[in-house]
């Protein structure tokens, strides 16, 4: 199958700081190339893979799933981690979903996350039919390149393969459940006139992630594909500022402090696993251990509630008679009604009398006692 011209994966080498850049659904590396080239000129190494099924023909994309796409992303990220000192991850559109999923798996290994018009859901009702339609309709007409600037290069398919789209919906559900686990520094940019991905997607990400360092950028002059549009310069400037601030510690320091606290907590918890004899060998504990335990015993003795230690109350003869009537009365009536057992020959009436008598005796026991000084106690 033919390949879209210029859609090959590429790596722009420069420096020890690398950026993994991920393109979108039905797109290709060409869709983010101007962005990658601009960051490379500033001294960063930028790697842009071509996801399986992309850059060729939509029929080939229909033979892949989101797990195939993510496998390439994860593999290339691990490769960059081994070769470069620090690695950032940038994702455009569906590439944003893959980047978020990568951060959920390996967030501690990446320096920061840059998302541009990320897609994490599409709430149009018609899309609910995709899991069914994919069995009957291979593809539908695509929207094409959503760029405000004139004469954008061809970088994506003209049709949307439905099996691949159904798989993308699975990725969306996975990513939505993972958003709360993301705590890496984040730059997220979105177009207010995006005709492919609703800006509400970015709002969903911002509202649900756990990152304390979030930088928001709004693209007012561009449509969906910002890297090929009027706001390319703003995208590059914002990306450079974000990366620089992370590298210099201007942002991301709170995350480092939290990691330090977690490490200290784990060290404390690990101490509980030490045998008591090893703990007692430590000088401070050996000298004060017994005295400390004695103090704990004294505090425990003072604070322990002993209770009144009163004996349980006993039932009077009247109370016992009432209890017998309440229990045996209904049983007698049931025996007469369902077992035809009537030893007294009066039907269920003896049982009813016993029940009512027991209830009457019970409430009679609750009557107020007369007060010698003030008459009846109310």
Q: Annotated active-site positions, please? A: 93, 194, 224
State how far the Cα of 208 lies from the Cα of 215, in Å rounded to an integer. Answer: 15
300: tokens are 């425990």
Listed residue (172, 176, 199, 168) closest to 26, CA to CA: 168
Query: If phi over 0 gives left and psi between -120 and 50 gives alpha, with beta otherwise, what is residue 233?
Result: alpha
Listed residue (23, 13, 2) closest to 227, CA to CA: 23
Listed residue (261, 262, 256) closest to 111, CA to CA: 256
- Which residues have a Cβ under 8 Å from the Cβ of 215 and sit 6 or more positions away? 185, 186, 187, 188, 238, 242, 251
> Beta-carbon neighbour count of residue 31 at 10 Å?
30
Calculate the alpha carbon distances from 73 to 20, 49, 76, 101, 128 in Å. Answer: 8, 7, 5, 10, 27
State how far the Cα of 17 lies from the Cα of 225, in Å rounded to an integer. Answer: 25
Tell me how long the chain is: 378
Q: What are phi and psi of 233, to 5 degrees?
A: -60, -40
130: tokens are 């995709």
Give the HSE-up count for residue 172: Cα atoms under 13 Å, Cβ half-sphere.
Answer: 20
């Amino acid at each position: 199958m033919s390949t879209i011209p210029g859609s090959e994966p590429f790596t722009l080498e420069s420096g020890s700081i690398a950026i993994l850049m991920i393109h979108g659904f039905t797109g290709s590396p060409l869709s983010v190339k101007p962005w990658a080239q601009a960051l490379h000129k500033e001294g960063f190494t930028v790697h842009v893979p071509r996801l399986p099924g992309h850059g060729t023909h939509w029929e080939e994309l229909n033979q892949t799933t989101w797990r195939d796409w993510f496998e390439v992303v994860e593999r290339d990220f691990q490769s960059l981690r081994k070769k470069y000192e620090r690695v950032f991850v940038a994702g455009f559109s569906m590439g944003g979903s893959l980047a978020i999923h990568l951060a959920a798996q390996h967030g501690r290994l990446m320096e920061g996350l840059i998302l541009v018009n990320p897609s994490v859901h599409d709430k149009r009702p018609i899309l609910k039919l995709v899991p069914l339609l994919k069995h009957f309709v291979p593809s539908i007409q695509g929207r094409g390149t959503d760029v405000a600037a004139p004469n954008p290069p061809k970088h994506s398919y003209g049709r949307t393969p439905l099996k691949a789209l159904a798989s993308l919906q699975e990725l969306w559900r996975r990513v939505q459940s993972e958003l709360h686990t993301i705590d890496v520094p984040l730059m997220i940019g979105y177009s207010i006139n995006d005709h492919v991905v609703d800006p509400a997607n970015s709002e969903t990400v911002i509202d649900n992630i756990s990152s304390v360092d979030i930088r928001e950028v709004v693209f007012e002059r561009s449509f969906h594909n910002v890297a090929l549009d009027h706001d390319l310069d703003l995208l590059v400037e914002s990306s450079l500022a974000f990366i620089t601030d992370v590298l210099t510690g201007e942002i991301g320091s709170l995350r480092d402090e939290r990691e330090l606290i977690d490490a200290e907590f784990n060290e404390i918890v690990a101490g509980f696993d030490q045998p008591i004899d090893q703990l007692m060998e430590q000088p401070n504990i050996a000298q004060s251990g017994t005295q400390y335990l004695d103090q704990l015993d004294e505090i425990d003795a003072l604070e322990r509630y002993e209770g009144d230690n009163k004996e349980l109350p006993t039932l009077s003869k009247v109370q016992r008679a009432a209890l017998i009537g309440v229990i045996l009365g209904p049983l007698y009536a049931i025996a007469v009604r369902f077992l035809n057992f009537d030893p007294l020959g009066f039907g269920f009436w003896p049982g009813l009398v016993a029940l009512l008598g027991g209830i009457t005796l019970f409430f009679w026991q609750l009557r107020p006692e007369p007060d010698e000084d003030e008459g009846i106690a109310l």
